[in-house]
Amino acid sequence: MSGSATRVPRACRGAWWARAARAVWRYVRRAPGTYIWLAILLATTEVIRHVDAATADRILERRSTNLHHLQVSPVRVLATSALWIAGGGWLGYFALYNLFHVPAERWLGTLRWLSVAVLAHVGATYLSEGVLGWAIHRGLAAPKAVYTLDYGVSYALAGVVGVLTYLVVRPWRYLYLAGVLAVYVLGLHQGRDYTGIGHLSAVLIGLACYPLTRERPGEFDPVASARALRRWLRLRRWLRQRSRPWPGRG
Instruction: Tell me the domains of the chain and their CATH numbers.
Output: 32-242 (1.20.1540)
| This prediction's pTM | 0.82
How wide is the angle at C-alpha 91 spanned by C-alphas 90 and 96, nearest 5°? 95
The whole-chain average pLDDT of the chain stands at 86
14 confidence band (pLDDT: 50, 70, 90):
low
18 confidence band (pLDDT: 50, 70, 90):
confident
Q: Supply the pLDDT for residue 86.
A: 86
Instruction: Give the rounded percent of residues in the chain with a pLDDT score beyond 70.
Output: 82
5 confidence band (pLDDT: 50, 70, 90):
very low
Q: Supply the pLDDT for residue 25.
A: 85
Which residue would you say has higher pLDDT here, 13 or 238? 238
Q: Supply the pLDDT for residue 191.
A: 81
- Give tens-digit pLDDT for 139-171: 989 999 999 889 999 999 999 999 999 999 988
192 confidence band (pLDDT: 50, 70, 90):
confident
216 confidence band (pLDDT: 50, 70, 90):
confident
**Distance between CA 123 and CA 109 in Å, rounded?**
21
- Give tens-digit pLDDT for 108-138: 999 999 999 999 999 999 999 999 999 999 9
Rounded to an integer, the average pLDDT of 169-176 is: 92
**HSE on the CB side for 233, CA within 13 Å?**
6
Q: Supply the pLDDT for residue 24.
A: 82
Reduced 3-state DSSP string for the chain: CCCHHHCCCHHHHHCHHHHHHHHHHHHHHCCHHHHHHHHHHHHHHHHHHCCCHHHHHHHHHHCCCCHHHHHHCHHHHHHHHHHCCCCCCHHHHHHHHHHHHHHHHHHHCHHHHHHHHHHHHHHHHHHHHHHHHHHHHCCCCCHHHHHCCCCCCHHHHHHHHHHHHHHECCCHHHHHHHHHHHHHHHHHHHHCCHHHHHHHHHHHHHHHCHHHHCCCCCCECHHHHHHHHHHHHHHHHHHHHHCCCCCCCC
- Give tens-digit pLDDT for 45-97: 999 999 999 999 999 999 999 999 999 999 999 999 999 998 778 999 999 99
46 φ/ψ sector (left φ>0, alpha ψ -120 to 50, else beta):
alpha
Q: Supply the pLDDT for residue 28.
A: 86
2 confidence band (pLDDT: 50, 70, 90):
very low
245 confidence band (pLDDT: 50, 70, 90):
low
Q: Supply the pLDDT for residue 239.
A: 59
